[in-house]
Structure 1
Amino acid sequence: MTLHSLPLFVRLAGRPVILLGEGEAADAKRRLLERAGAVIADERTDAALAVVAIAEAREAGEAVARLKARGILVNAVDRPDWCDFTLPAIVDRDPVLIAIGTGGASAGIAAALRQRLETLLPAGLGGLATALYQSRTALRAKWPAIDDRRRALGRALAPGGALDPLEASAEAVPAWLADAGVTGSGLLTIQLRSADPDDLTIREARLLGLADQLYFRADVPRAILDRARADAIRVPSAGPPIAPGPGLAIYMEMA
């Protein structure tokens, strides 16, 4: 499955971003860029990014062409076919940022999902993230191997875990570090009931997110493999491996 865009988080604090246009659309983009610390600039400025919020199509098209000719990446408001990048709907739980984009297909869907997520994500989520960041020395001391740390965090952050992001607060981190045990490893088998990744159970989806190695038959669809970590080793296999590598290995086949 091909991504229509690669989501990126760009640090704009103190950096110029060209903004062209007037009215509500331009004002909305200005507020968002200023919130990110960008310096709003005119077309003559040397910048890497530009937002064109010009209502009149011909004038907007000419501005987009001029900017792109200079190698500047452009967002053209309400004209997705002209965009090099889009600006997502954002859920802010500093330092946690959740960006929702549709590639310009439907800003309404992105906004609706943002509103739904705002009601689901606790206000203390950012505090939990900050506490984990501040505990990174203790995490490395407890689990020197990066794969062990990742599995430990995966188990703790899973639904119902000690650090479930929808339930836990920053205060839970020290207690978890004191009590956390051995991380998961070994070989597990998942028999897929369908080729639709949405049919994965919560447990299966969580295991895919934790796996270090994926062994799979040829009929396992790419859409399901894409639910695993990007850095997980992927090995086509006619059957379960005799000697899987270290960490958590998963063998997948269609039922």
Structure 2
Amino acid sequence: MSLHSLPLFMRLAGRPVILLGEGESADAKRRLLERAGAFVCGEDTAAPLAIVAIDDEDVALAAVARLKARGILVNAVDRPDHCDFTLPAIVDRDPVLVAIGTGGVSAGLAAALRQRLEALLPASLSSLADAMHAARTAMRDRFPDGGERRRAIGAAFAPGGPLDPLDDHPNADVMTALTGGGPARLERIVLTSPDPDDLTLRHARLLANADRVFHADGVPPAILDRARADAARIAGPPHDAPGLSVWLEMA
């Protein structure tokens, strides 16, 4: 099956982009372009890209035709059949960018998917990416063979792995994670409800990936059942604490 579009990430900092139109849609596109560092300009400027956010159909299509005749790639807002490129919904965890596109057929669907992904991807993902970048030389020294290096990184990023990107890693120790060193850590969950449906996404991920689960008296089985089937469940927490608490030992 062929791709209807090729996703690309284009650096626009300091580069001109034509924007035509007024109103809410044009303002939103202007904010997006300015956030990317683009120089927003009018139709008479030489530019590689243009966005036409004009409500009037005839005026918009005439502008699209003029721009395309100059060899400029055009995005025609709400007119996917006239678009050379589309603008995706974006999840920003700088330097990580996740773009969701629908080929212009449903901005609402792209926005809904973005909202779901926003909840799944921790804010510390940016710190993890920076830590991986900083460790590049050390990784090559420790794993000079490219295949071995890829396998070590893949294992660390796997679900439940020490660098699982869906978990929080505000101060990731990349080399310790890749070489399997370091002691197990304890993560504490303080439950606000005995209902497993009230678990946060982060708490559900921790439960699903824990090797051993220590739990206070009164923690309901429905909560403990969210842990892995092979995870040890140990009554009696390692530390005294009030309320419904669970301690998760993570490798």
The normalised TM-score by structure 2 is: 0.70
Contact 2:138–2:175, Cα closer than 8 Å, also in 1: no
Structure whose CA Rg is larger: 2
What runs of 5+ residues in structure 2 fail to find an aligned partner? 182-251
Q: Report what 2:172 is aligned to.
A: 171
Deviation at 1:11, TM superposition (A): 0.2
Deviation at 1:147, TM superposition (A): 2.3
**Helix, strand or coil at the partner of 1:75:** strand
Deviation at 1:155, TM superposition (A): 1.2
Contact 1:162–1:168, Cα closer than 8 Å, also in 2: no
Bigger mean CA deviation after superposition, 170-179 or 110-119: 170-179
CA distance in 2, matches of 1:173, 1:163: 8
- 2:61 equivalent to 1:61: yes
Q: Report what 1:22 is aligned to.
A: 22
Q: Report what 1:131 is aligned to.
A: 131
Contact 2:89–2:111, Cα closer than 8 Å, also in 1: yes
Deviation at 1:134, TM superposition (A): 0.5
- 2:191 equivalent to 1:152: no
Q: Report what 1:252 is aligned to.
A: none
**Aligned-residue RMSD, C-alpha:** 1.1
Contact 1:80–1:105, Cα closer than 8 Å, also in 2: yes
The normalised TM-score by structure 1 is: 0.69
CA distance in 1, matches of 2:173, 2:140: 18
Deviation at 1:17, TM superposition (A): 0.2
Q: How does 1:1-255 map to 2 (within 5 A)?
A: 1-169=1-169, 170-179=171-180
**Helix, strand or coil at the partner of 2:162:** coil
Alignment length (residue pairs)? 180
CA distance in 2, matches of 1:22, 1:146: 52
Aligned residue type for 1:172: D
Equivalent pairs: percent with the same residue? 69
Query: What do the CA deviations read for 1:227-246 (whole angstroms, capped 9, x no partner)?
Result: xxxxxxxxxxxxxxxxxxxx
Contact 1:91–1:98, Cα closer than 8 Å, also in 2: yes
Deviation at 1:102, TM superposition (A): 0.2
Contact 1:76–1:82, Cα closer than 8 Å, also in 2: yes
CA distance in 1, matches of 2:138, 2:49: 39
Deviation at 1:144, TM superposition (A): 1.3
What runs of 5+ residues in structure 1 fail to find an aligned partner? 181-255
